[in-house]
Amino acid sequence: MNEPRKGIIPPQVAISRVNASLAARRAGERRFRTYGRIAIGIALAFLVLLFVSIFTKGIPGFFQYYVTLEVVVDREKIDPAGDLSVQSLYDGDARGIIRNALYKATGAEGRSGRKAAGKLISKGAEQRLREAIIKDPSLLGKTVAMKFALDDDADSFLRGYISSAVPEKDRRINDKQIEFINKLQKLQLISYDFSDYLIFGSASRDPEIAGIKGAFVGSMLTLAVCLVLAFPMGVATAVYLEEFAPKNRITEIIEVNINNLAAVPSVVFGILGLAVFIGIFGMPRSIPLIGGVVLALMTLPTIIISSRAAIRAVPPSIRDAALGVGASRLQTVTHHVLPLAMPGMLTGTIIGMAQALGETAPLLMIGMVAFIVDIPGGVTDPGTVLPVQIFMWADFAERMFIHKTSAAIIVLLGFLILMNAIAIFIRNRLERRW
Amino acid sequence: MIKRTFLTAAVAVAAFTATSGIAMARDYISIAGSSTVLPFATIIAEQLGKNPSIKTPVVESGGSSVGKKGVCEGIGTEFIDIGNASSRMKAGELEYCESNGVKVTEIKVGYDGIVVANSKEGTPLVLTKAELGMALTAKVPACADGSQNFDCTTMVDNPFKKWSDINPALPDLEIRVYGPPTTSGTRASFAEMVNEKGYCKKDEMAKAALAAAGAKAKVCRAMRTDGAFIEAGEQDNLIVQKLQEDPSAYGIFGFSYLDQNSDTLQGAVISGTNPTFEEIANGSYSVSRALYFYVKHAHMGVVPGLDEYMAEWVKHWGDDGALSDAGMIPMPSAERATYKAAMADMPALTADMLK
């Protein structure tokens, strides 16, 4: 037998050493796995905490208290001009009609009693009555039962946030009002229903009638502008850079810059928008058109990068085959490469749009972080977006806004999940793998 | 092929004219500025918007400086029409206005109290303005703590850990006060009224130490950074929530937040007065400031609804109006009359008026 060479361990020794270290190595692996599990556990715990907190606060935000009143719709009182025009109804005394119904139901008497009762009902009640009459003019001259939102203080009381044990002067709702509420409850006129205001109402300083419709429409308009600009531009850039551009210094610099742009803080794009579109072109502030352009600038790098990845994933054999049967390079791209890369491009675009949907920082600069009541009718009407609405609500002092904020967050999350689900669906169903 | 190129060019031209066509008259009022005035301005805007013949004004936040600078930036519909502010325009800010050829009228709309509050479960705070300033300003004279150190010529880092270190009658609790960040007008007003005017300009030891160090009382505006004063972000609601959870902490915010949460929070009694609606309105509660807006003359008659917007303030700024319901402190009736008249006459703001 030869003497073992220097530095070489005989097999028996090696095996014994391996056996000796085996336990420690296995323990090491177990430890590592445990760390991994702990990390995931902590992340999940935070996620659960976040969702529990949002949903426990948000679900009540989808509901609110209403009161049903027998309203005597006096023709002269509500429509003084008699032409059912918006102006005439505005000039009419819708408030008085509702107040009278309320006084009758609560039995409120005297100046202080009537004042206390008057504060129980939302300021939005008048608008609701006017809208009902415009929708159905036959209501004129009749007595109808209508459901109106309760004021936010009364709502908070009914939810149990204001205790009647607290001294009267420290409550936002006084003893008389509590008495009226109890009476209305006994008459079964108060109901806890789905809050149509949350979905169909626009921004308001009265939390009971505030809704997300204006912000939602604003978000959609902004995203539409963003999509129209960013998608074709992003895809065209990606196709050119991947399929046509020569590989030289200039394209390299462009490539590096696109990658860097993807990491630029979004507020920078807002400053750009302010300087260029508002400063140089003199466009008005707060309009979804500029918001969309700014967000398009922000999402362009994301779309370009994902589109290029999608194009690169198309095997070269497809191109070779197309070129081989005599297609031009443009035909190769439009007939073969683009259709095959489209699912990947769409996925990237949807994820970019989802990102844009959640942005507020760039919009701050161009005046879209604002209180805007009118629902925008087009891209040049002032408008705001969902995350801005959430941000504004979170800062208002009225307590009912806490629930509204969480409810709006649920709606926004819903849309984000929906968009991501579509992206995943497209990826799984339409994408071809080679 | 030529046809297609032509089509592309036509689309490009159409897009360009469409975008340049926007740079025309704006038919809604654009307002920006103080986040303290915002809740009240939005109430007015919403009320005005209910009138079907007027579009609802757009109200942006941003802070008092954004309001004052923004309104002075220039003439034209790309600039805002009205700037909101929770502090009065300064001579320098007016100069910026004049350099841009902008004339404005100043309208005071009401007052806002700044309160120090804590949970009702905690110990109520009853103290003087000087004591409050002493607890929160970053630097105090070395002799302020009444120890053996008689060096009253240098300013040292605030040594007070507990309220009772300042005055044995105060609660035996660690000083922990949540407040707004530096960008906030509430913070600036508080630092000026309490730290500077309430403490450094009143307290003999502080005056002596400042004189010896050759420093101005303005340096007292800096708040403590050693954990006694905690910046809680621009959201006052966050401070309210923190106070409800932690009865040993105090918080600084606008009166409207105390008003909305009066069942769970109590305001500190400062220099003998309770922060109630009445005490702030009659001027006995001294930590309060005026709220303003500035209207640009050149936009009157160009942007529709400006007169109506101002008139809407008059409708609601009274003792019983929607604004006082939301926590704004109304002006005395004489002052209301003055500013109502100013809305009609529109006197241009001059440097003399600011003195």
Question: Cα angle vertex A53, ends A48, A56, to 5°?
Answer: 115
Digit-coded pLDDT (tens) for A362-385: 998 888 889 999 999 989 899 999
Give the pair of three-digit tokens for residue B205. 């030891």
For the segment B215-236, the average pLDDT, to the nearest whole number, is 85
Direct distance between the N- and C-terminal alpha carbons of chain A, in angstroms, rounded to an integer = 55
The structural domains of chain B, with segments of one domain joined by +, span 26-111+289-354, 123-246
The reported pLDDT for the residue numbered B22 is 45
- Whole-angstrom distance, CA of residue A370 vs CA of residue B62: 9
pLDDT at residue B28 greater than cutoff 50: yes
Report CB contact under 8 Å: B38, A371. yes
Interchain CB contact of B321 with A (< 8 Å) = no
Asked if residue B25 has pLDDT above 80, the reply is no
Interface residue A287 vs chain B (CB under 8 A): yes
**pLDDT tens string A234-276:** 999 999 999 999 989 999 999 999 999 988 998 899 999 888 9
**Cβ neighbours around A323 below 10 Å, total:** 14
Helix residue ranges, H only, chain B: 2-20, 38-49, 64-72, 91-99, 129-136, 163-166, 185-190, 204-213, 236-245, 255-260, 277-281, 306-316, 322-325, 333-345
Label residue B320 by pLDDT band (50, 70, 90): confident
Interval B76-121: pLDDT, tens: 888 899 999 988 888 889 999 999 999 999 999 999 999 999 999 9
Name which of A162, A170, A286 is nearest B58 (Cβ-Cβ): A286
With CA atoms as reference, the chain B residue closest to A399 would be B260
User: Which pLDDT score, from 0 to 100, does residue B286 have?
Assistant: 85
Total residue count of chain B as it appears in this document: 355
Put simply, the answer to whether B60 touches A278 (Cβ < 8 Å) is: no
Q: Which chain B residue is nearest to residue A206, measuring alpha carbons?
A: B43
Distance from CA of A434 to the nearest CA of B (A): 36
Burial label, A416 (beta-carbon count in 10 A; 0-12, 13-18, 19+): middle
**pLDDT score at B3:** 55
Distance from C-alpha of A35 to C-alpha of A20, rounded to nearest angstrom: 24
Residues A402, A207: Cα–Cα separation, whole Å: 9
Chain B residues within 8 A of A278 when measuring between CB atoms:
78
Amino acid symbol at A28: G
Q: Which residue of B has its CA nearest to A278?
A: B78
Q: Pick from B20, B39, B77: which is nearest to A397 by CB?
A: B39
Name the residue facing A370 among B52, B58, B254 (closest C-beta).
B58
Tell me: pLDDT of B227 over 50: yes
The 3-class SS string of B177-194 reads EEECCCCCHHHHHHHHHH
Min Cα separation B121/chain A (Å): 13
> Would the pLDDT of B23 be above 70?
no
Nearest residue, CB atoms, A371 vs list B26, B45, B53: B45
**Closest residue in A to B57 (Cα–Cα):** A372
Q: What mean pLDDT comes out for the span B220-241?
A: 86
Q: How far is A426 from chain B (nearest CA, A)?
A: 31
ipTM of the prediction: 0.79
State yes or no: pLDDT of A330 exceeds 70: yes
Q: B56 and A373 in contact by Cβ < 8 A?
A: yes
The alpha-carbon gap from B342 to the nearest alpha carbon of chain A, in Å, equals: 27
Q: Which residue has the higher pLDDT, B151 or A44?
A: A44
A166 touches chain B (CB under 8 A): yes
* Mean pLDDT to the nearest integer, A285-292: 92
Q: Kindly list the residues from chain A whose CB atom is less than 8 angstroms away from the CB atom of residue B56.
A: 372-374
The shortest CB-CB distance from A284 to any of B26, B41, B60 is to B26
pLDDT averaged over every residue in chain A? 90
Which among B260, B264, B315 is the top mutation candidate for probing chain A, defined by the most A β-carbons within 10 Å of its own β-carbon?
A: B260
What lies within 8 Å, CB to CB, of B231 at 6+ separation is B178, B179, B180, B181, B182
B232 Cβ contact partners less than 8 Å away, ≥ 6 residues apart: B178, B179, B180, B181, B238, B239, B242, B251
Buried b (16+ CB within 10 A) or exposed e, B284-316: ebbbbbbbbbbbbebbeeebbbbeebbebbbeb
3-state class (DSSP) for residue B236: helix
Residues of B in contact with A127 (CB under 8 A): 50
A162 inside 8 A of chain B by CB: yes
Q: What is the pLDDT of residues B252-291, one digit of tens each?
A: 998 988 988 888 899 999 999 999 988 888 888 989 888 9
Residues of B whose CB is below 8 A from A279: 78
Burial code (b: 16+ CB inside 10 Å, e: under 16) for B133-167 equals: bbbbbbbbbbbbbeeeeeebeebeebebeebebbe
Nearest Cα residue in chain A from B235: A395
Per-residue pLDDT for A194 more than 90? yes
pLDDT tens digits, residue range B152-189?
777 888 889 999 988 889 999 999 999 988 767 788 88
B30: pLDDT strictly greater than 50: yes
Structure tokens at A208: 């009971």
Apex CA B154: angle with CA B152 and CA B157, to 5°? 110
Residues of chain B neighbouring A172 (CB-CB closer than 8 A): 259-260, 262-263
Rounded-to-integer distance, Cα A26 and Cα A98, Å: 77
CA B197 to chain centre: 17
Q: What is the CATH number of domain B26-111+289-354?
A: 3.40.190.10
pLDDT at residue B20 tops 70: no
Q: Is B276 helix (H, G, I), strand (E, B) or coil?
A: coil
What distance, in Å, lies between the first and last C-alpha atoms of chain B?
72
Of the partner residues A205, A282, A399, the one whose CB lies closest to the CB of residue B76? A282
**DSSP-assigned letter for residue B353:** G
Q: Are A221 and A378 in contact (CB under 8 A)?
A: yes
A90 inside 8 A of chain B by CB: yes
Search chain A and give the residue with CA nearest B23.
A283
How does residue B147 score in pLDDT terms, banded at 50, 70 and 90? low
B15 vs A: CB within 8 A? no
Output the pLDDT for position B126: 93
pLDDT of residue B148: 58
- Dihedral over alpha carbons A162, A167, A170, A175 (to 10 degrees): 70
Section A100-113 average pLDDT: 88
Residue A281 contacts B where some CB pair is shorter than 8 Å: yes
Q: What's the pTM?
A: 0.83
Residue A338 predicted with pLDDT over 60 = yes
Q: Is B252 helix (H, G, I), strand (E, B) or coil?
A: strand
Residue of B60, B238, B256, B302 to mutate, testing the A interface (most A Cβ within 10 Å of its Cβ): B60
* Per-residue pLDDT band at B1 (split at 50, 70, 90): very low
Q: Does A159 touch chain B (CB under 8 A)?
A: no
Count Cα atoms within 13 angstroms, Cβ side, for A340: 18
Strand partners, B110: B291
CB pairs under 8 A between A and B: 112
pLDDT tens digits, one per residue of A79-93? 888 888 888 888 888
Q: For residue B232, how many other CB atoms are within 10 A of its CB?
A: 22
Query: Would you say residue A40 has pLDDT above 90?
Result: yes
A284 lies within 8 A of chain B by CB:
yes
CATH number for the region B123-246 comes to 3.40.190
Higher pLDDT, A169 or A197: A197
Closest A-chain CA to B45: A373
Mean pLDDT of A113-139: 89
Calculate how close chain A gets to B256, using CA atoms only, in Å.
Answer: 7
Identify the pLDDT of residue A234: 95
Q: Say which of B20, B77, B256 has its CB closest to residue A397.
A: B256
| Mutation site, A84, A119, A365, A373, interface B, largest B CB count within 10 A | A373
CB–CB of B263 and A394 under 8 A? no
pLDDT digits (tens, 9 = 90+) for A2-20: 555 667 888 888 888 888 8
Instruction: Please report the pLDDT score of residue A11 as a whole number.
Output: 87
Q: Could you read off the pLDDT of A199-237 as tens digits, one per residue?
A: 998 899 899 999 999 999 999 999 999 999 999 999 999
pLDDT given at position A6: 67
CA-CA-CA-CA torsion sign (B313, B319, B322, B327): positive
Look at B80 and A285 and tell me if their CB atoms are within 8 Å. Answer: yes
Decide whether B26-111+289-354 matches B123-246 in CATH topology: yes
Q: How far apart are CA A182 and CA A176, in angstroms?
A: 10
Between positions 262 and 301 of B, the ones with CB within 8 A of A are: 262-263
- Give the residue on B whose Cα is nearest the Cα of A152: B260
